Chain A
Amino acid sequence: MSATFEAENLSLAFGKVVPFEGVSFSVDAGEIFAIIGPNGAGKTSLFNTLSRVYQPQTGTLRLEGRDLLRSRPRDLAALGVARTFQNLSLFAHMSVLENVLVGRHHLMRSGPLAAGAWFGRTRREEREHGFKAQEALELLRIADLADTPVSALPYGQQKRVELARAITMEPSVLLLDEPVAGVASQERAAMAQVIRDVHRSSGVTILLVEHDMNMVMSAADRVMVLDFGKVIALGTPPEIQADPAVVNAYLGKAAS
């Protein structure tokens, strides 16, 4: 599944602090769209706005033509939008499998009464969705960690759990906020490959915030560059790499 994403003239302000303003872009269905920029450029704030945590002061945001600004964070899953967090949002005391299963919450139906009775709908659902969750774990090569509490895992594996959870939501849009940041380079390549595999098999639209230039330039169809909250360039990777404004603002500094 995939969906189109359109933002026009988005601006966000907290009092005098303006994380970004006048941001416009559109993402085609099935596209991999990267958002890069130096730290503090407003990328995470933009992501938070896209995932409806923040309400922008101006602008429009559309998902498949539907006004997304009317939605709340909890509506996103049903709308097909899944998001990973830069600083992880795993549930520390739950196991890997339990964490991923929460991703399937919106696809499951069992309520408190059915849950209590267990036999019947709940047991069937748990089994069926358990399999799906396992599939996501296998995709990320962490199936053997299913019952481990996530707080006991090293960072790299925690990142995988977060990604597995987003994938298992069966989204049409994946918002990945620095999915490989802080991860050792060998693991990065593996995770990047998973992202590409998922994209190839499901055609999901991906919006990606990343600092890893190799990953961005090799995987992304188009790239948007933010600096000080404004869009300074938008185009294909070769166009971006050649853009003097971008080189000036960003690529000159240390990358990955």
Chain B
Amino acid sequence: MTQVTPVRCFSALLLVACLATPIVMSPGFVSVCVFVLIAAIGAQGVNVVTGYAGQLSFGHAFFLAIGAYTAGVLGGDHGLSALIWVPAAGIVAAVIGALIAPTAVRLRGLYLSIVTIALVLVGQYLFVNLDGLTGGAAGRSIPAFRIGTLDLSPGRELQVGPWQLGRDQLYYYVTLVLLVLVCLYVRNLGRSRVGRAMLAINEGELGAAVLGVNTTRVKVVAFALSAFFAGIAGALYGSYLSYVQPDQWSLILSVEYVAAVIIGGSATVFGPVLGAIVVFALPAVIEKLPFLHDTGVAPANVAAIIYAVVIIAVLLKMPRGLIGLVDTFTRRISTPNKLPPSAGDGGLPAEPPAVLAPRLGRSQHP
């Protein structure tokens, strides 16, 4: 017998809101939602490799690009259906990730971050020069999502019951379904052997190794999974935009994804989704602000300043991110009399109780 709790009510309402959004809200709003949903899928990738496994990689933009170009080649040049190019985008990116990862993960901490920055920069250079695949600096088109008769090309509409759904709305539902599947995966991963191994590596790599965890293999898996989600997100992104250019796949894009995971809450299921909403909807929100138009200030810059400040605030004050806040809040309203377990009083733990330290990788101490 399921209980009616405030949290459950809220979740149900949220579900209804999610499903009703494309029908109720304006196409502009829905369009922003599509970008957010796609970004959330990509953010789950960063969540796996950086949130869970603690490997700070800035290579995400590179794998997003791989996904987009795979979609372009398979769906555009070869006219294949989305049923093929969406998973293929993920798989190609994952394979490349799995090939690069074993050498990359030999590097720790700082060095790994730096080498992934180099990956993005070298990647951009490659994308400009491999113009057969990428259209060079001018860019290339990426096909619309098409499975059989379901065609999301611009201008097409679909009659579903009493509603007429346009391109934005259809992309919304498609990406929503994919995001739900990805979130389910991440949830299951976190509860399983591999997920625990990743968390263990994050907290203490040597300690994990001594327990029998093959740290290299787990890290490679993390990278491959991260690349897989990035590939799918990149493919969907390119498909929705219809056109991509190499200078989009920049270091800044990678940083935005990492920011989304940190702000939302790393190593959680919904944190990356919340974070994606904050980071990727922000420019659109800022654009609506009236006083900005006169000053000629680019919304992207204002957004950059805002989330730079937010990241710093989160890392220093709210390391569990927005989800941490939500969690504390829901715990308070559902069990008001239960205090969180109190910190140790019997003696000093060898390492200071780092309840507030972020789960971002403290891999030098067992």
Q: Point out residues on A near B: beta carbons under 8 Å.
A: 51, 53, 72-74, 76-78, 83, 85, 87-94, 98, 101-103, 105-106, 108-112, 114-118, 122, 125-126, 148-149, 151-158, 165, 169, 182-184
**A91-B203, A122-B192 known, 10 other contacts, Cβ within 8 Å:** A53-B210, A74-B215, A93-B359, A105-B193, A105-B197, A111-B193, A115-B189, A115-B195, A154-B345, A158-B344
Pair A89/B366 contact, Cβ less than 8 Å: yes
Contact-size category for B: 35 or more
Which residues of the other chain, B, contact A152 by a CB distance below 8 angstroms?
340-344, 353, 355
Q: Are A105 and B189 in contact (CB under 8 A)?
A: no
Using A94-B203, A116-B185, A151-B354 as known contacts, say yes or no to A111 and B210 having CB atoms under 8 A apart: no
B191 and A126 contact, CB distance less than 8 A: yes
In chain B, positions 334-359 with a C-beta closer than 8 Å to chain A are 340-351, 353-355, 357, 359
B209 within 8 A of A: yes
Determine whether B196 belongs to the interface, using a CB cutoff of 8 Å to chain A: yes
A93 and B203 in contact, given A155-B346, A156-B346 (Cβ under 8 angstroms): yes
Structural contact, B194 and A112, CB atoms closer than 8 A: yes
Contact between chains at A110 and B347 (CB < 8 Å): no
A115-B212 contact in complex given A148-B341, A152-B342, A184-B346, C-beta closer than 8 Å: no
Q: Which of B194, B215, B346 contacts A111 (CB 8 A)?
A: B194
Task: Give 29 CB contacts A-B under 8 Å.
Answer: A51-B210, A53-B206, A72-B209, A73-B210, A77-B211, A83-B210, A88-B349, A89-B210, A91-B203, A91-B208, A92-B354, A93-B199, A94-B199, A101-B193, A106-B213, A108-B193, A110-B192, A112-B194, A115-B188, A115-B194, A118-B191, A126-B193, A152-B340, A152-B355, A154-B349, A156-B346, A158-B344, A169-B211, A182-B348
By a CB distance below 8 angstroms, the chain A residues around B210 are 51, 53, 73-74, 76-77, 83, 89
Main secondary structure of the interface of B (DSSP, over half): loop
* B200 lies within 8 A of chain A by Cβ: yes
Q: Are B353 and A151 in contact (CB under 8 A)?
A: yes
Q: Which residue of A lies closest to B189 (CB)?
A: A115
Query: B11 contacts which chain A residues (CB < 8 A)?
Result: none
Partner of A102, one of B184, B197, B341, B359: B197
When the two chains form the complex, which single residue of B188, B203, B212 contacts A106, counting CB atoms closer than 8 Å? B212
CA A125 – CA B194 in complex, angstroms?
12
Q: Is B76 in the interface zone, CB < 8 Å from A? A: no
Whether A156 lies near B366 (C-beta < 8 A) is no
